[in-house]
Amino acid sequence: MYKIIDIHTHIYPEKISVKATKALSDFYRFIVNSKGTLDDLEKQCSKCFITGFLLLSVATNPHQVKTVNDFAAECVRASRSRGFEAYGFASMHQDFEDIGNEVERAVSMGLKGVKLHPDIQGVDVTDNRLYPLYEACSYLDIPVYFHSGDYRPEYRFSEPKKIAKVLSDFPKLRVSAAHLGGYKAWEEAEEYLAGNERVWFDTSSSLWSMTAEKADKIISKIGKERLMFGSDYPGEVIEDEIRRFSALSMSEREREKVFYENARVFLGVC
């Protein structure tokens, strides 16, 4: 039995979860397969014997930032009280007035990094409004978790080439480029991000769209050393993602690291 940390999950307050998952479904033009609540996430994790998870939140306007971060910290505390190895990342918005102080406040509440979803937030990762965030995260030595890549030309805010530019501008910054480095832009991830020791990757929202053989080929290029298992709950059912991941070609030791140990190194808790 493997220990597992699901490094890529999203939840919403119960009163808005139906609306939020519908908006997610409309944006990506796919069916959201889970409820998007903390209770449902914990039930799915318990069913799959998952040790813990990372909660990633997104503020769609600057007024939501503090509320979203408070919610993430509260959920982490609640899940930990029930025995889960739960972690959370703060959200940030490019138009928030006091980025540095809010990042410090988030860290003081126990949050381990910052999540950005540039496509939904409508901001290019190289936008100067985000540079105070990268400075703060570099100074505090916490990572930025990027939604990375897209196949639609109108959503190229976080393509791998642009993430590489951010890394060049901030030589102490650590990042995770989700979705094997670039959602349906995997060749670009191989070109611009593979081999960079400050870049981590996850398996979320990728394995369902390709064969295991193709996934193995991509992973051989980006490497397993900084690869983490992620389901992208609620977009996918966690059990299905574990099944897809288990079909990949890895040694038992590699699988142990991707399922659990790499996540703890990335989060700075090992």
Q: What is the pTM of this model?
A: 0.95
Q: Coil, strand or helix: which one is 176?
A: strand
* pLDDT tens per residue, range 193-240: 999 999 999 999 999 999 999 999 999 999 999 999 999 999 999 999
Q: Cα 227 from chain centroid?
A: 12
Confidence band of 171 (pLDDT split at 50, 70, 90): very high
Cα gap 53→228, rounded to integer Å: 11
pLDDT in tens, 30-76: 778 899 999 999 999 999 999 999 999 999 999 999 999 999 999 99
Does the structure show a pLDDT above 80 at 28? no
Structural domain including 107 reads 5-267
Distance CA 56, CA 87 (A): 9
**Structural domain count of the chain:** 1
- In angstroms, what is the C-alpha Rg of the chain? 17
Measured CA to CA, the distance from residue 6 to residue 252 in angstroms comes to 18
How far apart (Å, rounded) are the C-alpha atoms in residues 3 and 252?
Answer: 12
pLDDT of residue 183: 86
Give dist(CA 123, CA 95) in Å, integer: 10
> Which class for 237: exposed (0-12), middle (13-18), buried (19 or more C-beta within 10 A)?
middle
Please name the helix (run of DSSP H) or strand (run of DSSP E) that holds residue 38, with its range, or none. helix 38-47
Question: Is there a contact between 237 and 213 (Cβ–Cβ < 8 Å)?
Answer: no
- Go through the chain and tell me how many residues it has: 270
Backbone phi, then psi, for 227, in 5-degree steps?
A: -100, 140
For residue 75, what is the domain's CATH number? 3.20.20.140
80 exposure class (CB count in 10 Å sphere: 0-12, 13-18, 19+): middle
| Average pLDDT value for the chain | 95
Distances (CA, A) of 260 to 7, 119, 227: 9, 28, 10
